[in-house]
Amino acid sequence: MLKLAKLFSTGMVLQREKQVRVWGEAEPDVNVRVAIQGQNAETRADAQGHFMLELSPLEASENETLVVQAGTEKLEITDVAVGEVYIAGGQSNMEFPLRYEKYREEALQTRDTQLRFFDTPKKYYDAQDTDFDYSAVGHWRKADSEENLGYFSAVAFYFAKELREELHVPVGIVGCNWGGTRSCAWINGETVEKVGKPWVLEWEKAIAGRDMDAFWASRKDDLQNPLTNAGNPGTSPFDAFILPGTPSLEEIGKAMMEMANATMREVGLTEEAKPSDFMQKAIEQFGDKLDARIKPGILYEHMVKKIAPFSIRGVLWYQGESDDVAGLQPLYADMMKGLIGDWRSLWQDETMPFIEVQLPGWYDWMGEVNMDYASIRRCQEQVAEDVEHVYMASISDAGEEHDVHPKDKRIVGHRMALLARHYIYGEELLCEAPRPTGISRQGAEIRIEMAYAQDGIRIIGDTLEAMELRAGDSTMAYQASVEGNTLVLKLEQPTEESILIRFAREAWYQVNLVNSAGVPAIPFETRC
């Protein structure tokens, strides 16, 4: 009967220097005792057999054993490390596995048993526990083999590796992410009602006229589809095709044709069939597809609550791509504020740090087009400005024009690690992205003073990228240079008209204006 939450298993990492919560199930009303590092704590299981207790802060260590006793039952969790623990949350760019990352050949050679990763099972309905085989996930993996490392979130791996090298303590990452998910799924449903009602209406529109009891009963059909069998990551041939590189349009077209032909065969048609016949058959078999993950609160209930309140230092967050829905992008700031509030409540930590990634530029990918990432980026800036202990990593130099999944995750993990090292661990270093702090104009010269550029800024290359100057309907030509922490723009044709300055505000751009830490400037728009 004695059972602990999945996170409490062999090879786990416990958070140092904070109270450690341990919870699980035992016989009702039995005394439960937990011991580690010479500490002992005791509680009593409730009438339903649930228990939770707290241990006093632990010191960083390795090779510990967590002993749990409930009546005559006893569990010993071995190979326990104590160090730093972070949640890696978000969607596909956080989920993106190390086995597909740009620098994977080098990274997969890492051998460090004190760098560990736990992948939270991807669930959105109760019966998944029995319907799916989760043997490939839901346990701790060490960075001690290519196979194990391949499962690591690439962003989280590089973040954790840098902390490990700087702090010299074990580092654990708890992955809690899922590609293609919207912010509304990761928030308490009641909070979405308050701060993002249009997302609730989107769900209601999606399920209108559906027999939802039949829908939920049919979810085990997802087991037959490698794209939706979340219990077995890495089984999707589509992922293996699209993630390791950025295919050309020709390669994508060929792959899509192969997938279409395979679908035609599956519905009993030959490739010589008329397109109308194919479409009719395809609609009959596959038309009733509803992504239940868009339901507000669904992943909050089935994933986030499964790992809370496991003691952590903070949260790494890379998400927002799927919130690029027409008319709903401006809601993202309130959605993220709601998410942060909900998660902090679950973890009973009002100051729990969040390190978010500002989405980089891209134009199109697999038929999808960047609609209004600019609004989402501004929302991300607003959250970091308005909410204490939220920090934003700029990766505006790391996007790819025809791929929503930039392959260089090393730079993302590094930028997030810089923020953690400074704000969480107190290291004196430059980690923030340059941004305008003052602007002046005299004649043909515009001077933009930049914050977080105390050692100066520089332009990588011969010309400044991603900058547009407009006077009325006319684009203004200019020459760019830098003087210390100031960007100097000299107009080729002086004008007395008001000038609109837009920096990295388009769908696709790549910033080459950086500070001495190599961190690129964030997008901005202003007038002078």
Q: What is the pLDDT of residue 268?
A: 56
State yes or no: pLDDT of 471 exceeds 70: yes
Looking at the fold, whether 170 and 36 belong to one and the same domain comes out as yes
Measure the CA–CA gap between 483 and 488, rounded to whole angstroms: 7
Mean pLDDT of 520-527: 95
Q: How far is CA 449 from the centre of its chain?
A: 32
Look at residues 336, 334, 326 and name the one whose alpha carbon lies nearest to residue 186.
Answer: 336
* Encoded tokens for 62: 């390795």
Beta bridge partners of 368: 365
Measure the CA–CA gap between 414 and 374, rounded to whole angstroms: 23
| Number of structural domains the chain divides into | 3
Percent of the chain exceeding pLDDT 90 equals 77
Mean pLDDT of 466-490: 95
Give me the domain span that covers residue 519: 435-527
State yes or no: pLDDT of 232 exceeds 90: no
| Average pLDDT along the chain | 90
Q: 430 in a domain, yes or no? A: no
Looking at the fold, whether 101 and 9 belong to one and the same domain comes out as yes
Q: 250 in a domain, yes or no? A: yes
Q: What is the pLDDT of residue 255?
A: 64
Query: E strand or H helix at 347, and its extent?
Result: none
Looking at the fold, whether 61 and 152 belong to one and the same domain comes out as yes
Q: 366 in a domain, yes or no? A: yes
Mean pLDDT of 113-135: 86
Domain boundary among 264, 294, 324: 294
Q: How confident is the model at residue 137 (pLDDT cuts 50, 70, 90)?
A: confident
Q: 429 in a domain, yes or no? A: no
Looking at the fold, whether 9 and 151 belong to one and the same domain comes out as yes
Q: For strand 474-475 and strand 486-491, is the pairing parallel, antiparallel, or unpaired? A: unpaired
Looking at the fold, whether 480 and 400 belong to one and the same domain comes out as no
Looking at the fold, whether 309 and 392 belong to one and the same domain comes out as yes
pLDDT digits (tens, 9 = 90+) for 262-292: 655 655 555 555 444 544 554 454 445 688 8
Q: What is the pLDDT of residue 394?
A: 97
State yes or no: pLDDT of 313 exceeds 60: yes
Q: 191 in a domain, yes or no? A: no
Domain boundary among 392, 424, 456: 424
State yes or no: pLDDT of 252 exceeds 90: no
Q: What is the pLDDT of residue 351?
A: 97
Looking at the fold, whether 261 and 203 belong to one and the same domain comes out as yes
Percent of the chain exceeding pLDDT 70 equals 88
Q: What is the pLDDT of residue 181?
A: 94
Mean pLDDT of 28-42: 96
Upper half-sphere CA count for residue 424 (Cβ side, 13 Å): 25
Q: 122 in a domain, yes or no? A: yes
Asked if residue 237 has a cis previous peptide bond (ω within 30° of 0), the answer is no
Looking at the fold, whether 212 and 271 belong to one and the same domain comes out as yes
State yes or no: pLDDT of 58 exceeds 90: yes
Looking at the fold, whether 236 and 123 belong to one and the same domain comes out as no
Tell me which amino acid residue 203 is.
W
pLDDT digits (tens, 9 = 90+) for 414-461: 999 999 999 999 999 999 999 999 999 999 999 999 999 999 999 999
Looking at the fold, whether 261 and 308 belong to one and the same domain comes out as no
Upper half-sphere CA count for residue 433 (Cβ side, 13 Å): 25
pLDDT digits (tens, 9 = 90+) for 76-100: 999 999 999 999 999 999 999 999 9
pLDDT digits (tens, 9 = 90+) for 158-167: 999 999 999 9
Q: 165 in a domain, yes or no? A: yes
Q: 128 in a domain, yes or no? A: yes
Domain boundary among 242, 276, 294: 294
Q: What is the CATH number of the domain that holds 382?
A: 3.40.50.1110
Q: What is the pLDDT of residue 455?
A: 94
pLDDT digits (tens, 9 = 90+) for 498-519: 999 999 999 999 999 999 999 9
Upper half-sphere CA count for residue 34 (Cβ side, 13 Å): 23
Looking at the fold, whether 208 and 302 belong to one and the same domain comes out as no
Q: What is the CATH number of the domain that holds 491?
A: 2.60.40
Q: What is the pLDDT of residue 182?
A: 97
Q: How confident is the model at residue 256 (pLDDT cuts 50, 70, 90)?
A: low
Looking at the fold, whether 512 and 368 belong to one and the same domain comes out as no
Look at residues 230, 256, 197 and name the one whose alpha carbon lies nearest to residue 119.
Answer: 230
